[in-house]
Every structure is written in C-alpha cells, then in structure tokens.
Amino acid sequence: MDGWYTWAKTALFSLDAEQAHDMTMHVLRAVCGMPSVVQAWEKRTHRQWEAERALLQTHVCGIAWEHPLGLAAGLDKNARCLPAWRAMGFACTEIGTVTPLPQIGNDKPRLVRVVEQQALINRMGFNNAGAREVARTLFVTPKHPRKPVFINIGKNKATPNEEATNDYVLALRALYALGDAFVINVSSPNTPGLRDLQQAHTIRALLEAIIEERELQHAALGIDAPQKPLLVKISPDLTDHDLADTIDAIRSVAIDGIVATNTTNARDPGSALEAGGLSGAPLRERSRAVIRDVYQATRGMCPIVGCGGISDADDAYAAIQAGACALQLYTALIYQGPSVVSRIVCGLAERLRADGCTSVRQAIGVAAM
Ligand SMILES: Cc1cc2nc3c(=O)[nH]c(=O)nc-3n(C[C@H](O)[C@H](O)[C@H](O)COP(=O)(O)O)c2cc1C
C-alpha cells in the first residue's frame, strides 16, 4: 500500500463508509478540475507498465483495453470523476448503475466495511442522478482516446418488473451516444425483484427489446461503425441450473458479452454479517467459478469481464485463466488504495511472461477446460 494511503485510510476508515466515499469523491472531483495535475498523475502511473503495452492489451467485444483491469460499476455512478480513474491507471471505467429517473436509493446506513474479511456490504439501491443528468456530465467530460467508458444501466425502484423493459430502453436511449459499451444490470441484490429479470423466461424478451433500441439509436447516430456492444451483468447466486439457462437465453439473442459477477447475498454458515450485497475477498472463489462456468458453457465464444474479489495479481491471473478476457474491481481499491492498479497490472505482466505468453489472449481460459 502507498505510504500516503496508509494514513489517508486511517482517516477515511474512522468515518462512516459512505461519508468516506462521498468525501473521497469530492476530493477526486476537485483534482479532475486540474487537467495538468491529472495528466502528470496519469503519466506517472502508466510509466510503470509502458514497456509491456503489447503484452497487456486485451479486447472486450472488439473494444481495446490497454490492459485487462477496469473499475467496476457502483463507485462512480454519475461519471463525475472519469479523469481520476484514468489517471489511477484503470483501462476502462464502468459508470452507473444509471436509471432513467434520478433516485435517492435506500435508507442510510447502507454501506458497511467488514475489515477482517477485506469486504464490503452494500444496499445502496441504485442511488444515482438519473440518465439525463449523467448524459449531461458525460457530454462535457473530454473523451480519452484509449480508455473506454462502459455504462451500466438499470431500472428505477418504483418501476414494476412488468414495465422494467421500458426503463432499460429509456436509459439506453439517453446514453447511447456517450458510452462505448453498455452493461445491462439484472443482478444487483438491492432493488427488489431485479434478479428475477435474470430468469431465462424473462431475460430473453428484455434483451430483445434492448437490442432493438440499440439498432434504432445506432441508425440515428448515423456513424459508420459497428453497433456498441451490450453485455449482461450476472449474479454469483444463480444455481448451476439457472445459470446454464440464463447463459443459453443470453446467447440466443446475440448479446455481446457477460460481466461476472455482481455482489453476493450468500453468507458463510453461522455468519453474523448483515443484509446486502457482499463484495471483496469472500466473493472471489464464487465469482471465479461463475467465470469458468460461463466460459465452458459458451466454449470460450462469449467475452467475459471477470469481477468479484480480485485483490492482487494472482487473483487477476486466475480469473483470466478461468476465462475472463478483462477484469474489474471495486472493494480492493477501498482497502489498498490506487496503487492496487499498478501492482495488479505489473504483476499480471510478470505472470504472463513467466508462462511464456506473448499476449493476454493466450492465457484466457487455460484453466477452464
Ligand atoms: C458500494 C457498492 C456499490 C455498488 N453498486 C453497483 C451498481 O450500482 N451496479 C452494479 O452493477 N454493481 C455495483 N456494485 C458491484 C460491483 O460493481 C462489483 O460487481 C462487486 O463489488 C464485486 O467486485 P469487488 O469484489 O471487486 O468489489 C457495487 C459494489 C459496491 C461495493
């Protein structure tokens, strides 16, 4: 851990977890207003893996990532600090979850640290500024030539599941021009009934409607480029049988990729942990198993973004070998600070070299078959 983060963490961890998050976002937002500082920060970070660029590059549904590690959804729901995540070294930022209308989320407290397990429990409930406001923010944020933005979309809490399709369509419509790819979130545990949308019999119709809207939006953009990829973010809590059905349904409608996984509702037997989505170290094994299952079920034909409990280069490499072409993290950033990015990226390069790989692609799924 960086020396400075050791002390910053002491101060931040003395606060309520959400207060610490809000304060950090304020500071990062202020830093984002100083382009020369951000530029210098980004340069300094990227120097660390400059020599390994060719080795580390990967592709997610045809989109190039400079290296396999991105920021997971939920940390910057409203896209307020994109330059800072890029400067920290993340190859891609997933913003959101964004819902069509703004909403305040669940009652506080709704974010808890489980320090002894290097984990977090959240029941935020999609607190976000709404699609229109997020679109405005993205519109005025300079695009980075090499760092894609993925946009995670969801439904408002007040929208019943029977009308959920309309929410996803509205969110995609408002944001299509501004993202590089879209992640359809049907797996957060904190919006009542949301996970029901993952079931094979419901997800197909939902995805078909979203795909249709993508076609309309793409035609309206009038650009000569491929349609923007759609990925589905799945839960780690599906039974093997439901997971297989969901994957079949997702594949049958030509979705481009899968993000595996969201947080878990599962707890170790006898655990006294409170309600909400658990992330971080306790999620690692289950997320990796889901990555492997998806890779096997799709015979490696579906790009997988691996997410859940990744906290060091060994975890990252294992997730790639299980079948992920790219990775995301959230909780490890809270416990280790920004230097976790370079530790993982440089460590991945070392592991790839040690195994004689000349590209990330050669390691994807080698432990899954
Ligand atoms: C406080 C918090 C808020 C989150 N909000 C979202 C969200 O809005 N949408 C989403 O798809 N995932 C959300 N997630 C889940 C993360 O994107 C990620 O899937 C999960 O935390 C597992 O990764 P990790 O173990 O590296 O944290 C959230 C996670 C946390 C800890």
pLDDT exceeds cutoff 80 at 272 = no
Q: Among 263, 283, 334, say which to mutate for ligand 1: greatest number of ligand atoms within 8 Å of CB.
A: 263
pLDDT exceeds cutoff 70 at 364 = yes
For ligand 1, atom 6: residue with the closest CA: 74
For ligand 1, atom 19: residue with the closest CA: 262
∠ CA 164-166-170, nearest 5°, is 125
Burial of 140 (0-12, 13-18, 19+ CB in 10 A): exposed
**Mean local confidence (pLDDT), 345-365:** 98
- 182 vs 272 pLDDT, higher one: 182
pLDDT for the residue numbered 268: 87
C-alpha torsion 25→30→31→35, nearest 10? 130
Q: What is the pLDDT of residues 56-105, one digit of tens each?
A: 999 999 999 999 999 999 999 999 999 999 999 999 999 999 999 999 99
**Mean local confidence (pLDDT), 30-38:** 97
188 lines ligand 1 (CB under 6 A): yes
Q: At what angle do helices 17-32 and 3-13 cross, to 10 degrees?
A: 130
- Alpha carbon of residue 368 to chain centroid: 22
* DSSP conformation class of 268: -
Q: What is the pLDDT of residues 224-235, one digit of tens each?
A: 889 999 999 999
**Mean local confidence (pLDDT), 249-266:** 96
pLDDT exceeds cutoff 90 at 349 = yes
Q: How far is the CA of 73 from the centre of ligand 1 (A)?
A: 6
Instruction: Identify the structural domains of the chain with CATH numbers, from first to last.
Output: 3-363 (3.20.20.70)
DSSP element (H, E) containing 209 = helix 200-221
pLDDT exceeds cutoff 90 at 109 = yes
Q: Among 76, 279, 315, say which to mutate for ligand 1: greatest number of ligand atoms within 8 Å of CB.
A: 279
3-class DSSP assignment, residue 135: helix
Percent of the chain with pLDDT over 90: 94
For ligand 1, atom 14: residue with the closest CA: 74
- 269 vs 112 pLDDT, higher one: 112
**Mean local confidence (pLDDT), 329-350:** 98
Q: Is 265 left (phi over 0), alpha (psi -120 to 50) or beta?
A: alpha
pLDDT exceeds cutoff 70 at 192 = yes
159 lines ligand 1 (CB under 6 A): no
Q: What is the pLDDT of residues 149-184, one digit of tens each?
A: 999 999 999 999 999 999 999 999 999 999 999 999
pLDDT for the residue numbered 1: 64
pLDDT for the residue numbered 270: 81
**Mean local confidence (pLDDT), 356-360:** 98
- Residue whose structure tokens are 């049958």: 252
The Cα 38–Cα 28 span in angstroms is: 10
Return the structure tokens found at 238. 């599906």
pLDDT for the residue numbered 73: 98
pLDDT for the residue numbered 312: 98
Provide the H-helix boundaries in 48-176.
53-56, 82-88, 131-140, 164-175
**Mean local confidence (pLDDT), 213-230:** 95
Q: Which residues is 128 bridged to in the sheet?
A: 103
**Mean local confidence (pLDDT), 334-355:** 98
216 residue type, one letter: L
pLDDT for the residue numbered 269: 83
pLDDT for the residue numbered 208: 97
Return the structure tokens found at 167. 């929410």
